[in-house]
C-alpha cells in the first residue's frame, strides 16, 4: 500500500489523499476546485467574523468533509475570548447539523474547549497539530470520548508529544492521524516515515491503520 492521508493541510497542491484547509474570511470563501477540504472560521478571525461568512454551509459541497479549523486560542493577542467562544459554538452547531466532524485549533484553552465539545458537540472532533502528553490524551478522552488526535511536524521537536503519539498508537490506535498543517518543508510521506520509525511499525502497517481510521471518521467516502 502506498496511500498517504494528510488529514489537515494548507498546501495548495497537497500530496496523496488530503483534506485541504479553507479559512473562511468572507461570505464567498475561495474553495478549492478539486479535492477534499474543510472550512471554518478560525478563532483568530472571531473578532471580525460575520454571520454571512457561514453561507458556504447552506448548500455545502460534497467535497466538504469537515468543519474547521475552528476552536479557541486564549493568547492575549486574540482577545476578546467571548467572541471566540461564540463562534466556536456556532461552528459546533454547523458540525452537528451537517453531521461532519470538527477540526480543532487549541492554544491555552483546553478546559474551555473540552467543556464545549462535551456539552454541545454530537460529531467527532479532531485536535489538529496536537502538542501534549499522554496524561493530557487520557484526560481529554475521559471528558470527550469521540476525540481524535492529529500529529504534525512539530511532534518531532517535543519528547512528550512523541510519548503521546506512542500512547495513542498503543492504547487507542483508531484515534490517530497525521498532517502537514502549514509546514512547507515536510511532506506527508516524511511524516509517515518518521512516525513509523518512532513507533517501530512497518510503514505499510501505519498506512493501513490510518486508512481504517479515515473510513471510521468518514464512512461515506471511498478512497478508491
Place of cell 518518521: 194
Query: What grid cell was written down for 67?
Result: 468543519
Q: What is the pLDDT of residue 217?
A: 97
Other Cβ atoms closer than 10 A to 8: 27
The residues with which 127 forms a beta bridge, in sequence order, are: 104, 149
Q: How far apart are CA 171 and CA 162, in angstroms?
A: 14
Of 103, 112, 38, which Cα lies nearest the Cα of 73? 112
What's the pTM?
Answer: 0.95
Residue-wise pLDDT for 12-62, tens only, equals: 888 889 999 999 999 999 999 999 999 999 999 999 999 999 999 999 999
User: Three-state DSSP class for 177?
Assistant: strand
Q: What is the pLDDT of residue 224?
A: 66
How far, CA to CA in Å, does 136 sit from each of 102, 111, 128?
19, 11, 14
Q: How far apart are CA 207 and CA 187, in angstroms?
A: 15
Q: What is the pLDDT of residue 1?
A: 43
Q: How far apart are CA 195 and CA 12, in angstroms?
A: 24
Low-confidence ranges of the chain (pLDDT < 70): 1-2, 224
Phi, psi of 45 (to 5 degrees): -105, 5
Amino acid at each position: 500500500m502506498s496511500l498517504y492521508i494528510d488529514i489537515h493541510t494548507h498546501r495548495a497542491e497537497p500530496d496523496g489523499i488530503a483534506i485541504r484547509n479553507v479559512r473562511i474570511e468572507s461570505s464567498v470563501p475561495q474553495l478549492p476546485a478539486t479535492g477534499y477540504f474543510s472550512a471554518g472560521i478560525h478563532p483568530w478571525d472571531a473578532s471580525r467574523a460575520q454571520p454571512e461568512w457561514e453561507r458556504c454551509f447552506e448548500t455545502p459541497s460534497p467535497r466538504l468533509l469537515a468543519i474547521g479549523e475552528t476552536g479557541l486560542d486564549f493568547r492575549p493577542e486574540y482577545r476578546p475570548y467571548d467572541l471566540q467562544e461564540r463562534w466556536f459554538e456556532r461552528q459546533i452547531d454547523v458540525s452537528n447539523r451537517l453531521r461532519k466532524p470538527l477540526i480543532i485549533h487549541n492554544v491555552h484553552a483546553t478546559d474551555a474547549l473540552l467543556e464545549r465539545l462535551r456539552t454541545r458537540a454530537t460529531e467527532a472532533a479532531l485536535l489538529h497539530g496536537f502538542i501534549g502528553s499522554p496524561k493530557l490524551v487520557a484526560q481529554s478522552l475521559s471528558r470527550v470520548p469521540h476525540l481524535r488526535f492529529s500529529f504534525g511536524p512539530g511532534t518531532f521537536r517535543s519528547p512528550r508529544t512523541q510519548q503521546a503519539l506512542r500512547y495513542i498508537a498503543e492504547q487507542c490506535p483508531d484515534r490517530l492521524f497525521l498532517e502537514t498543517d502549514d509546514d512547507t518543508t515536510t511532506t506527508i510521506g516524511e511524516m509517515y516515515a518518521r512516525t513509523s520509525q518512532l513507533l517501530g511499525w512497518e510503514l505499510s502497517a501505519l498506512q493501513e491503520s490510518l486508512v481504517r481510521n479515515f473510513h471510521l471518521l468518514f464512512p461515506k467516502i471511498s478512497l478508491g
